[in-house]
Amino acid sequence: MHPPLPRSEALIEADRCYFCFDAPCTTACPTGIDIPGFIQKIRSDNVKGSAHTILRENIMGGMCARVCPTEILCEEACVRNVHEDKPVNIGLLQRYATDPVFEQDLQLFERAADSGKKVAVVGGGPAGLSCAHRLAVLGHQVVIFNRDGKLGGLNEYGIAAYKTVNDFAQQEVNWILDIGGIEVRQNTALGIDLSLADLRQEYDAVFLAFGLGSVNELGLANEDADGVLNAVDYIAKLRQSENMDDLPVGRHVVVIGGGMTAIDIAVQSKRLGAEVVEIVYRRGPDQMGASQYEQEFAQTSGVTIRHWASPVRLLVSDRVAGVEFERTELDASGKLQSTGETWSLNADVVFKAVGQAVASDVFGEAAASFEQKGGRLLVDDDRRTTLPDVWAGGDCIHGNDDLTVTAVQDGKVAAIAIDRYLRPGE
Ligand SMILES: Cc1cc2nc3c(=O)[nH]c(=O)nc-3n(C[C@H](O)[C@H](O)[C@H](O)COP(=O)(O)OP(=O)(O)OC[C@H]3O[C@@H](n4cnc5c(N)ncnc54)[C@H](O)[C@@H]3O)c2cc1C
Ligand code: SF4
């Protein structure tokens, strides 16, 4: 999506930074990276030191440099916006600093002496890996139990292929595991292959980071018709495909939803060769989960976005042939209502991208032990659940904004809290 900066351009871009006191970009970063600090090190050609400044706060600083919506985080807060309407390109500078670490396999961290404590991490996505790495650095033994065959979570199976090319997700996972002290058990799922009770008995603490296991349905008839697909599964297949020629691509694609996943699948379909791609969202552009930048990115990639319409019927012959929509509007109290007016779009592929939810069967009998809200786990500021030895983070907790960087921060905060719990009185 964004080609890396060559050295000359990185130095020019680094020179645009004002090195603000109490830098607003750092405050806006969910992981609190010292942004002026790492940019200053780029200026003095200390690229390794710059990478250390980034990765000590955000162990997935490499992936975040590729996938973070910087336009609503650090770059939105950059004071250069006030003077020039153009922030310092923090995302690309972060990538410039961190790429050599993975290319040259440089290990920047060391493990503390063995604490003799064992922690179970359920889920090997950004939250789980971040927690596991920090715990390993602090000297604890970690076992990651992961449902899928590869680690990385949605970095590996969910994020659009054009954002993270050349198998970067696995390169980053391997680098994280190189710290040592982390055992991985793949294809092992909580709720199927192991129970929370077993983990609590065998380990000194547990961190839950299993993400969101199921996708929301439209709630319409014919959702199982040929050509009606769920966007998350399609992207997972695409990300794992050796040969993209094998993937069926629609000619006229309709995407229902308004978040990042809707944008990703729409742009991805266009790049795979679909002739017409239309996103339909039930509210206006300001209410879309996708940022304005992402909306513009889709539009300049040839995608049409239609607002204020909700799907009411999937039109089906031997496979899906179109979608009927009803116009929507806000009533006087600001509530979304239908106007009763309908219109249709032809489609040979319809993607559902209307959000995900926590899989309800993960806890089995332990479900009642946790306080939950909206199907997600409630945690305190340390990411501790209502069970004293169980922490949780990433997409599966309530209040999370479903970003990679937030999941990484949750894992880090939980690891620091678990370390305090494992060393009482120290
Ligand atoms: C299509 C799509 C595109 C996205 N694009 C972006 C983007 O561009 N930028 C961005 O910042 N964010 C993006 N996100 C969001 C981001 O990927 C997630 O917020 C982030 O991956 C959450 O991390 P996590 O560790 O909580 O969960 P996940 O990444 O979902 O990882 C969960 C892990 O838990 C494992 N697991 C699941 N169930 C069990 C179980 N029962 N037992 C054991 N293990 C289990 C899985 O195998 C997986 O490895 C996107 C999400 C989607 C769906
Ligand atoms: S806000 Fe912008 S100019 Fe100020 S320190 Fe951050 S990147 Fe540099």
pLDDT in tens, 248-257: 889 999 999 9
**Which mutation among 12, 15, 80 tests ligand 2's pocket best, with the greatest number of atoms within 8 A of CB?**
80
Nearest by Cα to 364 from 122, 178, 32 = 122
Q: Measured in angstroms, how far is the CA atom of residue 21 from the centroid of ligand 2? A: 9
Q: Which ligand is nearest to the CA of 297?
A: 1
pLDDT of residue 76: 96
pLDDT at 242 over 90: no
pLDDT of residue 40: 98
**Which mutation among 2, 148, 154, 261 tests ligand 1's pocket best, with the greatest number of atoms within 8 A of CB?**
154
pLDDT (tens digit, 9 = 90+) per residue, 299-352? 999 999 999 999 999 999 999 999 999 999 999 998 999 999 999 999 999 999
Atom of ligand 2 nearest to the CA of 16: 3
pLDDT at 6 over 80: yes
The residue whose CA is least distant from atom 4 of ligand 2 is 20
Q: What's the token pair of residue 75?
A: 């770059």
The ligand 2 site (C-beta within 6 Å) comprises 17-20, 23-25, 35-36, 78-80, 88, 90
pLDDT of residue 398: 92
276: confidence class by pLDDT, cuts 50, 70, 90: very high
Kindly report each contact of residues 310-315 with a partner whose C-beta sits within 8 Å and lies 24 or more positions away, as own/partner: 310/282, 310/338, 311/218, 311/220, 311/256, 311/280, 312/220, 312/342, 313/220, 313/221, 314/218, 314/220, 314/221, 314/222, 314/223, 314/225, 314/228, 314/350, 315/344
The residue whose CA is least distant from atom 4 of ligand 1 is 159
Q: Measured in angstroms, how far is the CA atom of residue 25 from the centroid of ligand 2? A: 6
Sequence-distant (≥ 6) Cβ neighbours of residue 130 within 8 angstroms: 58, 59, 60, 407, 408, 409, 410, 411, 412, 415
The ligand 1 site (C-beta within 6 Å) comprises 67-68, 122-128, 145-148, 153-155, 158-159, 163, 189-191, 209-211, 213, 232, 235, 260-261, 264, 362, 394-395, 402-405, 407
Q: Measured in angstroms, how far is the CA atom of residue 297 from the centroid of ligand 2? A: 24
How does the average pLDDT of the chain come out, rounded? 94
Q: Determine the residue type at 276.
A: V
pLDDT at 364 over 80: no
Q: Measured between alpha carbons, how far is residue 100 from residues 103, 104, 163, 347, 416 in Å?
A: 5, 6, 18, 44, 28
Q: Distance from first CA to last CA of the chain, Å, rounded?
A: 47
The residue whose CA is least distant from atom 21 of ligand 1 is 154
pLDDT (tens digit, 9 = 90+) per residue, 67-103? 999 999 999 999 999 888 899 999 999 999 999 999 9
* Higher per-residue confidence, 409 vs 191: 409
Q: Which ligand is nearest to the CA of 143?
A: 1
- pLDDT > 70 fraction of the chain, expressed in percent and rounded: 100
Q: Measured in angstroms, how far is the CA atom of residue 343 from the centroid of ligand 1? A: 35
Q: Measured in angstroms, how far is the CA atom of residue 284 from the centroid of ligand 1? A: 27
Q: Which ligand is nearest to the CA of 148?
A: 1
